Amino acid sequence: MMCIFMGQCHWWKVTAAATVFFRTMRAGPDGKPMLGTGSRNLGARLSDYEENLDEDGNIVTGKAGELPPGASLATDPRKLPPSFRPNWLPGGKSKDPLWAIKDDSALAARGVTPRPDSNPNKDYHILLGPSENRTSPEEYGAAMESTQDLWMNTNTESMGDVQAFLTEIEGMEE
CA-based nearest residue to 49, from 34, 64, 61: 61
Q: Which residue has the higher pLDDT, 173 or 19?
A: 19
- Quick one: which H or E segment has residue 105? helix 105-109
List, in sequence order, every beta strand (DSSP E) within the chain: 2-5, 8-14, 19-24, 71-74, 98-103, 112-116, 125-130, 152-153
Chain segment 57-68, per-residue pLDDT in tens? 999 997 766 788
Over range 95-107, report the average pLDDT.
Answer: 94
Q: Assign 88 a pLDDT band (cuts: 50, 70, 90).
A: very high
Over range 31-45, report the average pLDDT.
Answer: 96
What is the model's pLDDT at position 8? 41
pTM: 0.86
